[in-house]
Amino acid sequence: MNYTLFQLINGVAGRFDGIDDIMEFCAQDLIWVMLALLALLWLTGKTANQKLVFFSCLSAAVSLLIAGLVISPEVGHARPFVDHAVHQLIPHAPDASFPSDHSTFAFSVAFVLLFARRKTGWLMLALAAVTGFARVYVGVHYPGDILGAMALSLVVSYGVWKTSGRLDALPNFFIRVYRKLTSRLSFLPHP
């Protein structure tokens, strides 16, 4: 089923240059848009927003560590282009594909935001879903790699969100450092 769904999505790749270009951007660069949105949220200078950005990044970091150090080496699932003839639109190393790092990052950020701010969270969740779909479309991941990233991200993000009140000293430290720096650098926004 995983390969059948992959074929259905990736089978469209290579037919329409404009769509391919959009999917290549989404597969590789949409996470930069998400990072820019996080940066804008941080730069509001509001403590609640800055804590939210911190916990989103913490969730992403923990999820990526678990994926990279535990799950991926244990599962060792080959990428689609290693085992099959695919329409591969972007270059990628033939390393393990489960779970998708891009999707793990994107969903981790999105879920923490969704728990705290519904509108922003839904926007980020949509960007994460598009990122995951595009990773399949361009031929570097199976749909199961994206679903695995989503599940891991949801569990870790929920855990980070539920313990965030007990971890407030961490974001408070970074917020204080940021405020000290911005008070000395007039070009950065500060409260």
pLDDT, tens only, 63-112 = 999 999 999 999 988 899 998 889 989 989 888 899 999 999 999 999 99
Asked if pLDDT for residue 188 goes beyond 70, the answer is no
Confidence class for position 164, pLDDT limits 50, 70, 90? confident
Confidence class for position 191, pLDDT limits 50, 70, 90? low
The 3-state DSSP composition of the chain as helix, strand, coil percent (nearest 5) reads 75, 0, 25
Nearest to 63 by CA among 13, 103, 121: 103
Please state the domain extents for the chain: 1-11+40-85+96-165
DSSP-derived 3-state class of residue 150: helix
pLDDT, tens only, 16-70 = 999 999 999 999 999 999 999 999 999 998 999 999 999 999 999 999 999 999 9
Global confidence as pTM? 0.88
Asked if pLDDT for residue 134 goes beyond 80, the answer is yes
CB 88 within 8 A of CB 136: no
Asked if pLDDT for residue 155 goes beyond 90, the answer is yes
